[in-house]
């Protein structure tokens, strides 16, 4: 996307959650042609759970929507933005 600064290429407008945002863990979208929706799961125990963004996004090596710190089930976890949506 031409409006994204190269330093923040991992950011995606629909995955740029502000702290305090309520999210739901979901399957990530396909990355390439032929990959089916649902092949990239956030983890069976996380799928469908709700959480609150604590901080982020931070750069990630995979360009999976950036890394966020999320409060979920009484603990703080780090997870990729591609596996989240606003609840």
| 38-54: pLDDT as tens digits | 888 999 999 999 999 99
> Helix %, strand %, coil % for the chain, to 5?
10, 30, 55
What single DSSP character describes residue 37?
Answer: T
Neighbours of 32 (CB within 10 A): 5
pLDDT for 49-77, tens place per residue?
999 999 998 888 777 788 999 999 999 99
Query: pLDDT value at position 43?
Result: 92
- Assigned fold of 12-86: SH3 type barrels. (2.30.30)
The rounded distance, in Å, linking the Cα atoms of 79 and 64 is: 9
Domain boundaries, the chain: 12-86
CA dist., res. 79 & res. 42, Å (int)? 8
Average pLDDT over residues 2-31: 74
Query: What's the whole-model pTM score?
Result: 0.81
């Amino acid at each position: 996307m031409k409006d994204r600064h190269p330093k923040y290429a991992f950011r995606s407008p629909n995955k740029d959650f502000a702290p305090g945002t309520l999210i739901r863990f979901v399957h990530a979208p396909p990355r390439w042609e032929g990959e089916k929706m649902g092949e990239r799961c956030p983890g069976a125990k996380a799928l469908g759970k709700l959480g609150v963004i604590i901080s982020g996004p931070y750069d990630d090596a995979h360009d999976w929507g950036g890394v966020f710190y999320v409060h979920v089930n009484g603990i703080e976890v780090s997870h990729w933005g591609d596996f989240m949506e606003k609840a």
